[in-house]
Structure 1
Amino acid sequence: MMDWFTALNPTMQALLGGTMTWGLTALGAATVFFFTKIEKHTMNMMLGFAAGVMIAASFWSLLAPSIEFSEQNGHIPWLAPAIGFLLGGVFIRLLDFVVPHLHLGNAQDKAEGPQTKFKKSTLLFLAITLHNIPEGLAIGVAFGAAALGIGDATVIGALGLAIGIGIQNMPEGAALSIPLRGEGMSRARAFNYGQLSAIVEPISAVLGAAAVILVQPILPYALAFAAGAMIFVVVEELIPESQSSGSTDLATLGLMAGFVVMMILDVSLG
């Protein structure tokens, strides 16, 4: 049934995978047409779930294949993964430094990055967009790894990663659109902000797939780079936000549930 998909060029597979995650973000953002508020404990659990998915994906879908590729090619197994992982974190830190943004739940005077006159809605949008970049890269390099036949990497496994990221994008879409509606923005406009925050995912997915296919030796670095970028986002943003306003147990259980869902997807499909 999936023969048509596996026969596609890997960059096209990455584009479709990234587009699916964008679509699921839009689906989550569409809840703004039915709700005007998310309870704090529900938001915390959703953010925890997203963090759990990203942590599991970082290891099973990205770091483990990076280590395996290095080992297969006679290199020091941990070297490229370690370098790529750290560079991924540095990359997101640099983006944080040069792009003005505001994390969910913070007052506007807590905005990070350069001084700007952007509205709070724009700053929130930029914050979510920033952490969607590594998710798109992760999808792209996973499809690139499958195309190169690296270890146990498969197209279905890469698709499983895209599905997992898409699942956790749904609450993220709602987590942006509903607070914007609560601040007085129209439902349609709040929805557009929510769904557009993930438009970078198909773009960065294509770039990730194309990069590893054109320059194969960077694959272990690219896989670990995406993992490092995602872990930076989880530790710097998702976990603190999920734990900042009470319901810490629910947030932690949400994280564990997200981790298990992504682990099951990766192990069963990969």
Structure 2
Amino acid sequence: MARSEMRSSALELRPIEYRFGSLAHIDGSASFSFGAELVTLAGVRGPSEVRIRDELTDKGTLEILFQPLGSPAALPATSLAASLRSLFSGIIRLNVYPRTLVQINLQTCSVPLEPHRPPTEEENDKLLPPHPDAPISAPEKSALINASMAGLIDAGVECRATVTSVSLACLPRRKAKELRENRRAWRAGEVDVTQEDDEMEEGDESTILLDPTPAELRWATSNHVFAFAFSGYSPQNPGQVLTELVFAESSGRAEWLKHKEVISLAREAAQSVLSVLRQTCRKNATET
């Protein structure tokens, strides 16, 4: 059984892993994974020569391309690439690289399996490929942001801060507990976690799950992706890390107080991801 499926706490991340230098013949590359099931890869080229039509005299040009797993890059992939370009345009010191191109190529290598669901008579027996316009899950977006930052570090591109990202979901409390307790069971095919619970009350109090799985996202009333930029320590308080929310994307309904709690939990989790990134950088530096 995968270790990533053995979480019992609602605020527990799957095992995090960074790997630098995953690709050859490229300026920088890195992979990032949440557990063994969600793996993303980033390759960075540049600063390099840019086409004349894209050349900027006062700063470098940033280009981000994303290739989803199992389907061509359609509107959701293009939209995500544009959002990440807006995010990293404020992180990379593009003014240091005028008349050049910094290109980030992103790819999803592996995604978690969907929970077991018995087929219906109306469904076709054939296994259909993913639809090109299917939305990209919140954990996948978070992993792609983390892989992008690691790729920039490996390429030696100058940045003003280090970015890490996490995803969260709000679920009815009873359903969230049930899903985490039955995680082992549905992987073995013993429990169908997608079966509707007729006893679920509409007013059931919600809880926050960190790094949700596909089964948990299916029942989520809202899901969120946050990225934070960490740029050192405060001069007034050396023990306080300077943190800035640089990316926020939410879907679904969430009360304002619950949304504030989600942001606070996301900030703490992003610091945990940052700690893993720093440890990996130190280990990589000593080995090379």
What is the TM-score of this pair, normalised by structure 2? Answer: 0.30
Give 1 or 2 for the bigger CA radius of gyration.
2
Higher relative contact order (CA 8 A, sep 6+): 1
Larger strand proportion, structure 1 or 2?
Answer: 2
